[in-house]
Amino acid sequence: MAEQVGIVGVPPLEVIATLNREGARIFDLDEPQPQVRVPIEQSAAWVPRVYCAILRTVVLNAMLLELDRIFIDVGPGKCDAALNIAEVLDDMLAIPIHRTHNQDRIAYGFPLCTSAMPMVEKFTLISKSVQKAIPHQPREPCIPLCGFWGVPPRDFALLHLFPEQTHVFGWTRCMENKTPADLELERQFDPSLPTVFFTQTFCAKSALAHHLGRRHPQALVIDCDVSPSNSARAKIEAFLELSGVPSSAGALL
Amino acid sequence: MLLADFGTTYCKLFDTQRDTRARVVASRALEPGFQADLATGHNAARRSKRAVNELSALARGGRRLISADSFVLLDCGSRDLKFVRFAQGRVADMGWNAECGASMGFTIELLATYYQLDYAAMAVPQNGFSITCGVLGMSHIFDAVVQGSSEEEAVARFVRGIALNAHRFAGAPEEVYLSGGLCNNPLFVACLPCTVHLLGRFVLLEGLLDLLGHEKGHIQL
């Protein structure tokens, strides 16, 4: 039976390549897993409720999936909070918790980030690409209508608000490029595109989002916790509409 | 075509064929099956054929009514706060506080009824309470009364705290265009620490008219 391995953040490519060679089944613990059907509140036994929803999801997944080991990136390519969560996982589970410091610098490119594709599908493919140590398929870049800067949201429902021709920036672009610690790439944006700067609530990256949002001429800075609130959805909808961006359905709202 | 701004406590209606003046109806007085053609507001999705995002309606209404290229429009209703900032004719920032600004307008109206106060006759207090939410802020009133303040003074400090919070939420501008039901509250308006231009409570309806391509001046504000 294949070894079941959890990953948190983007472990170094060498780790992923080894897991691929060994035929391990990889679970991205940052994302809600379909077989984990319990409320996120159950993670409160190990991690505070007022905490990054992605890391609460990591803990919840780790509690309920039967994993053989976990690779958690705790370097500059993830966040300080992951360093602390690694301690929690160590205490919680009787399996090896491998801490990695991904400093990979070989750029694999980000064709998905600049392609025309429904945003949920785009982010799903980007997240999946982390689990493979192979080059990306080339894709034709689209002419963008707007930008999304940030990490993949904990709840992809947020992404339905964006049109297919949304260019993706920030850490998501670093993920696809397989260089999660590349701050130079992470802070890039296109000033000609109306851009939503997104972070998870309680995430340290909100400082960078606010900083870049102030420098961008047409930006909306927004944070969401577990799922997007009605007001968060309305802000994004109105921002895109008033910036002249067609809705994801293809027509002006 | 019947346009509506379905607010939490009051509904603003305008029939493009029949009306020259918008009507205000208590939301609780609407028939269960009442439907508008085009609407915005909390109940728009279930009470209209087509619902429009409130921030979008606010921004469109503001752009119709305000001649300046750069301005901040703040909407203070019974349940939430919204603002839109335009810079050189383009939307530069916006916010919608439905959580921490909860029920402030509604609470202000309830307090006036309960304590039988007239906001037009109340003086602006020197200090306001440090509050962000109408519901949680009420305990400050009770505490102040227990400590010897008059009910009128305590409520005035509550209103000032709410006004300061709303002003901060909009980015603390030196000049603000105010819309929503609190335009009709002289104490609230006087407590805002900036120049205030009152637009009244039909700005979102103006936004709906804008969406339909109607010319300006349909609604007598």
Subunit contact A234:B99, Cβ cutoff 8 A? no
Mean pLDDT by 10 residues, chain A (253 residues): 94 96 96 94 94 96 97 92 95 96 96 97 97 93 97 95 97 97 97 96 94 93 91 91 72 38
Distance, in Å, from the CA atom of A235 to the CA atom of A229, rounded to the nearest integer, reads 10
Please compute the mean of the pLDDT values over residues B36-56 and round it to a whole number. 92
Distance CA A2, CA B144 (A): 67
- Give the model's pLDDT for residue B38: 96
Beta partners for residue A198, in sequence order? A150, A222
Distance of CA A220 to the CA centre of its chain: 18
CB-CB neighbours of B149 under 10 Å? 16
Q: What CA–CA distance (Å, rounded) separates B75 from B198?
A: 10
Alpha carbon separation from B82 to A127, A242, B47, B99, B153 (Å, rounded): 35, 15, 21, 11, 27
The 10s digit of each residue's pLDDT in A92-139 is: 999 999 999 999 999 999 999 999 999 999 999 999 999 999 999 999
Q: Do A234 and B96 touch (CB under 8 A)?
A: yes
Structural contact between residues B162 and B183, judged by C-beta atoms closer than 8 angstroms? no
Q: Residue for token digits 């961008």? A: A216
* ipTM of predicted complex: 0.75
Contact A238 B55 (CB under 8 A): yes
> CB of B54 within 8 Å of any CB in chain A?
yes
Question: What is residue A134's predicted lDDT score, i.e. its pLDDT?
Answer: 92
Place of tokens 């300006």: B216
User: Which one, of A187, A203, A207, lies nearest residue A195 by Cα?
Assistant: A187
- Provide the angle, in degrees to the nearest 10, between the axes of the packed helices B134-146 and B151-169: 150
- DSSP label at A135? P
- Cα–Cα distance between B147 and B140 in angstroms, integer? 10
* Chain A positions in Cβ-Cβ contact with residue B98 (cut-off 8 Å): 229-231
Dihedral sign computed on CA atoms, order B16, B20, B26, B32: negative
Whole-number Å distance between alpha carbons of A57 and A59? 5
Q: Would you say B102 and B166 are in contact if contact means Cβ atoms under 8 Å apart?
A: no
- Please state the separation of Cα A49 from the chain's center in Å: 20
B108, pLDDT greater than 60: yes
Residues of A with Cβ-Cβ distance to B94 under 8 angstroms:
220, 235, 238-239, 242
Residue A249: what pLDDT? 40
pLDDT at B217: 61
> Which among A218, A229, A253 is the nearest to B56, CB-wise?
A253
Contact B91 A243 (CB under 8 A): yes
Q: Is A22 helix (H, G, I), strand (E, B) or coil?
A: helix
* Phi and psi, residue A6, nearest 5°: -95, 140
**What pLDDT, on the 0 to 100 scale, is given for residue A246?**
75
Between A68 and B20, name the one with better pLDDT: A68
Torsion on CA atoms B120, B122, B126, B128, rounded to nearest 10? -80
Q: Please indicate if any CB of chain A lies within 8 Å of the CB of B212.
A: no
pLDDT recorded at residue B100 = 59
Q: Are B162 and B131 in contact (CB under 8 A)?
A: yes
The pLDDT value recorded for residue B105 is 83
pTM, 2 dp: 0.84
Residue pair B201/B179 in contact (Cβ under 8 Å)? The answer is yes
The beta strands (E) that lie in B55-157 are given as 71-76, 81-87, 90-97
Residue B53 has its nearest CB partner, among A218, A229, A234, at: A234
Could B80 and A242 be called an inter-chain contact, meaning their C-beta atoms sit closer than 8 Å? Answer: no
- Backbone dihedral angles phi then psi of residue B160, each to the nearest 5 degrees: -65, -40
**Half-sphere exposure (CA, 13 Å, Cβ side) for B208?**
30
Average pLDDT taken over every residue of chain B = 90
Start-to-end C-alpha separation, chain B: 19
B187: pLDDT strictly greater than 60? yes
Place of tokens 């392609």: A115
Residues 6+ apart with CB under 8 A from B18: none
Task: Report the SS3 class of residue A114.
Answer: coil
Contact A112, A129 (CB under 8 A): yes
The whole-number pLDDT of residue B20 equals 83
Decide if B56 and A242 are in contact by the 8 Å CB cutoff.
yes
According to DSSP, the β-strands at B23-26 and B36-41 are unpaired
- Chain A residues bordering chain B (beta-carbon distance below 8 Å): 217-218, 220, 229-231, 234-235, 237-239, 241-243, 253
